[in-house]
Amino acid sequence: MDHELEHFQPRNAQTIKLSETIHRGEPLATRRSSTLGQIFFCEGCCCGRSDKGFPALPKEMIKERWKTLKLNGTIQLTISGCMGPCDLANVFYLLPSDGVGQWFGGLAETWQYETLIQWAMDCQQAGQLLPIPRSLECHRFTRFQPMSAATQV
């Protein structure tokens, strides 16, 4: 443990407190856990790269609407780098507060992003995480295949 801490150089009060918590072996907890979930829109080496022939990600529109509608307190918005499944660009990932993530790919139309903005507004209004709209269900995919019995340790 001390060896690991040698490389951890606290730089402010938050990181000092965090390093002390880790050093004491206490569980970490975030104060930013009150949202219903977090949505990650991928903008990496493929997703959103219209210069490479992939559909554009309307990032500025999404960010502006999320901010104007104050959706971040309900569904936290993240624009991420490559999340892995580039062959299904454009990808987004929904991480609900229950921790069971949901993956969607092949987004190519602005209305799909507008549908997600409306969905986040509906979640905000309802005060609960609602299912992803049916119109986007065909974009759902399984990110990781279950390990077969042969590959399990």
Distance in angstroms (rounded) separating the CA atoms of residues 12 and 19 = 11
Q: Which of 1, 2, 78, 81 is nearest to 40 (CA)?
A: 78
Torsion of CA 7, 11, 16, 21, to 10 degrees: -50
Asked if 85 touches ligand FES (CB under 6 A), the answer is yes
- Total of chain residues touching ligand FES, rule CB under 6 A: 12
Residue selected from 37, 44, 55, 58 as contacting ligand FES according to rule CB under 6 A: 44
Asked if 39 touches ligand FES (CB under 6 A), the answer is no
We find the least distance from the C-beta atom of residue 140 to ligand FES, in angstroms, to be 15
57 neighbors 47 (Cβ within 8 angstroms): yes
Asked if 82 touches ligand FES (CB under 6 A), the answer is yes
Query: Between residues 44 and 58, which has the closer beta carbon with respect to ligand FES?
Result: 44
**Choices 7-15, 20-28, 77-85, 143-151; region in contact with ligand FES by CB under 6 A:** 77-85
Where in the chain does DSSP place strands (E)?
37-42, 75-80, 92-96, 102-104, 140-141
Asked if 75 touches ligand FES (CB under 6 A), the answer is no
We find the least distance from the C-beta atom of residue 85 to ligand FES, in angstroms, to be 5
The string of DSSP letters for 77-96 reads EEEES--S-GGG-S-EEEEE
- Residue 4 to residues 27, 29, 39, 68, Cα–Cα distance (Å): 17, 20, 32, 42
**Choices 12-20, 78-86, 118-126, 142-150; region in contact with ligand FES by CB under 6 A:** 78-86
Asked if 89 touches ligand FES (CB under 6 A), the answer is yes
Residue ranges binding ligand FES (CB under 6 A): 42, 44-47, 82-86, 89, 91
